[in-house]
Amino acid sequence: MSALNPAFHPILEPLAWARTPSAGCSRSRAGCGHAEVNVTSVPRDAQLGPSVEEAARDWNSFRAAFPTTERFTYLDTARKGLVPVWVEAAMRSWMADVYDNAGFKAFSMEETETARAEIASTFGAPTQCVALIKNTSEGMNIIAQGLGIQPGENVVISANEHENNTFPWRYLGGKGIDVRILPADENAMIPLDAYARAIDRKTRVVSVAWVSYGAGIRSNISEIAGLARQHSALTVVDGIQATGILNQRVDTLGADAVICGGHKTLLSLAGAGFIYMREDLIGDIAPSYAAKFSFTSLDRTVPDLRLAPDARRFEYGNPNFLGIWAQCNSARIIRKVGLDRIEQRVRTLSDRLIAGLDTLGIRVRTPRPWEQRAGIISMDFRRRAGEVVERLEQQRIIVSERDKFVRASLYACNNEADIDTLLNAAEWLKGN
């Protein structure tokens, strides 16, 4: 059967379930005092909850696929995305295949190729340019260790980068490679001219977040990439805070590589991500690890051992079959709901939050124009951010502390009531 036959791996609807408080349970999350959640065993073919078709038409139905939203005002997608019931359905179907069919499809490389095609289609890249990897840090290390950067050459990053776009490059500093870290200005921005001054003929890589994890600033990737190309340097993008929200193909950013984990707005599981790499760059990156799926032949006795000419060369050993199965299903769901609709929904909700914070006199650190941000809003309460996060959590409002400020991060499963709940709590905190 063809690996691209959609009938072979249909979108999986949520299975029936029941979640009930445990009797007498007093376990709490930071003092919230809520009961534990139990999941009852259900028939594998039972269905309940919103269909994907319903969710694609109506945001209330979409939200209903995220049960956590019934218990928390969850505004922390930039840390970990909520898992919808469709992922539970996919996981159960994977296990059902293991139980009933000895894993004929669950452990099928044909299914892995189906997933590669679905992910490439949803997020915008040629299939042969997509490798299925664990997470952002693995993708960064594939390039950092495989490009052959030499002592005396340099890499340019910024102070706004996440640890997983910092440590892989800083590690090279101990090998005589100059790692240039650009400081942010008073508005947490990295001016374009700072990149222009830092990039020179010895620069091999400029690595930058599409959207920064702290202040939520969207980088102008095309302009940064243009500066890098003037010196034959590569532009590598950490895409995890933008992919799945912004309606732009990853192969149109102007970057040489875009890397993304699956556990935030890809609606998948930790340990299932992808890397897009420009096709004519793939052959220049030597994998640090290789196994049978990295090569053109599975024959271990072949005299002429050749790496795969496409992005599969960066995959080795057995893949994360369960994570990839779930990611395949989620990619189809995102495509059916529509990245254009998801982006507009996040924009509408974030506009509402910014306007409310302005009314309360709480400083917003994130830029106002949509073209300079995405789903993250950084707030300055002018008090210890950790205390604010803890007090909000006591009201079941989940946000994060990042860079000593309060960070809320939104997704399409949020609604106006979530925003208003946070604003009401923020107003109360100002006086208490």
In the predicted model, what is the mean pLDDT of the chain? 90
**Which amino acid, 39?**
V
In this prediction, residue 17 carries a pLDDT of 37
In this prediction, residue 12 carries a pLDDT of 56
Q: What number does CATH give the domain 339-430? A: 3.90.1150.10
In this prediction, residue 430 carries a pLDDT of 87
Percent above pLDDT 70 for the chain: 89
Confidence category of residue 3, pLDDT binned at 50, 70, 90: very low
The Cα–Cα gap between 262 and 269 comes to 6
Mean pLDDT score, 66-70: 97
Mean pLDDT score, 386-394: 98
Nearest to 141 by CA among 285, 323, 324, 312: 285
The token pair at 156 is 């340019």
The Cα–Cα gap between 143 and 204 comes to 11
Phi, psi of 238 (to 5 degrees): -85, 105
In this prediction, residue 11 carries a pLDDT of 57
The token pair at 139 is 């993708």
The Cα–Cα gap between 263 and 81 comes to 6
Locate the domains of the chain by residue range. 109-336, 339-430
**Which amino acid, 92?**
R
The Cα–Cα gap between 81 and 70 comes to 15
The Cα–Cα gap between 210 and 259 comes to 10
Mean pLDDT score, 385-389: 97
The Cα–Cα gap between 249 and 213 comes to 20
Tell me: pLDDT of 417 over 50: yes
pTM of the predicted structure, to 2 decimals: 0.89
In this prediction, residue 44 carries a pLDDT of 43
Q: Quick one: three-class SS letters along the chain?
A: CCCCCHHHCCCCCCECCCEEECCCCCCCCCCCCCCCEEECCCCCCCECCCCHHHHHHCHHHHHHCCHHHHCCEECECCCCCCCCHHHHHHHHHHHHHHHHHCCCCCCCHHHHHHHHHHHHHHHCCCHHHEEEECCHHHHHHHHHHHCCCCCCCEEEEECCCCHHHCHHHHHHHCCCCEEEEECCCCCCCCCHHHHHHHCCCCEEEEEEECECCCCCEECCHHHHHHHHHCCCCEEEEECCCCCCCCCCCHHHCCCCEEEECCCCCCCCCCCCEEEEECHHHHCCCCCCCCCHHHECCCCCCCCCCCECCCHHHHCCCCCCHHHHHHHHHHHHHHHHHCHHHHHHHHHHHHHHHHHHHHHHCCEECCCCCHHHECCEEEEECCCCHHHHHHHHHCCCEECEEECCEEEEECCCCCCHHHHHHHHHHHHHHHCC
Tell me: pLDDT of 6 over 80: no
Confidence category of residue 7, pLDDT binned at 50, 70, 90: very low
Mean pLDDT score, 408-420: 98
Confidence category of residue 49, pLDDT binned at 50, 70, 90: low
Percent above pLDDT 90 for the chain: 87
Q: What number does CATH give the domain 109-336? A: 3.40.640.10
Tell me: pLDDT of 255 over 80: yes
Phi, psi of 380 (to 5 degrees): -110, 105
Tell me: pLDDT of 9 over 80: no
CA angle 16, 18, 24 (to 5 degrees): 170
Tell me: pLDDT of 387 over 90: yes
CA-to-CA separations, 170 to 54, 74, 213, 243, 332, in angstroms, rounded: 47, 33, 18, 25, 37
The Cα–Cα gap between 132 and 22 comes to 39
The per-residue pLDDT for range 274-295, each reduced to its tens digit, is 999 999 999 999 999 999 899 9
